[in-house]
Amino acid sequence: MCNRESTSREHVPPKCFFPDSKDLPIGIDFRSNLITLPSCDQHNSGKSADDEFLLFVITTQYRGSHLKDKHFESKVMHAFNRSPDRFIGMIEGLAPHRCTEPDGKVFESAVFEVELTRFDRVVHQLACGIYYHHSNKKWMAKSHSISNIFATSGNLLSPENAFIASLMDKMYRSFEGLPVHGENQQIFSYQLYTRNDNAHALHLEFFEGVKIFTVLGQDA
């Protein structure tokens, strides 16, 4: 969010999150009625790399539906194979890893370091955009986010992962019974919780499993 003059419109979330119809069965369209917002040139044209970063982080998670896996294989891997240099910085510390689910199931995966400062900045922009779309008000203050993206490495019952899971559960309960918004909810949906004019929270969900909770508050 900024106070510059709007010169174009941008998709929120970015259009790249929504599979192209050519990659889907005939008759399915996840790019109809997407959310668009007025945007200045700097924010719209200058954020494509950040859009790609967030898409990569989200679609590499083991959570989410088959549509996430399909989108990763078609959209993300195509972009990776075309320009691998753009992605090298996103997979710092990439290494094979064995994960244990709460039910004891073990599966082979991989881990990499996520640039948290960048993640927080991109999610903040996304959350502010969704808040503006919903309320027609600009959020110019701080935010703080937590996601189940960061509870996926190693033993999922470890104290660190259990702590994240507990916070996620508490946040999720705050949204119980609230309307779920979004025209293409198999790809993206959101809920908005408002306590007062200076305190809001968003539940952003991608591909029916990757969850991000963002608190918008003066002291966030």
CB atoms near residue 167 (< 10 Å) = 14
24-59 pLDDT, tens digit per residue, is: 888 899 999 999 998 876 666 668 899 999 999 999
Residues 6+ apart with CB under 8 A from 37: 9, 10, 12, 129, 132, 133
Residue 200 CB coordination number (10 Å): 22
The backbone torsions φ and ψ at residue 63, rounded to the nearest 5 degrees and listed phi first, read -75, 160
Question: 6 with 39: CB under 8 angstroms?
Answer: yes
At 92 the pLDDT is 81
Which residues of the chain register pLDDT less than 50? none
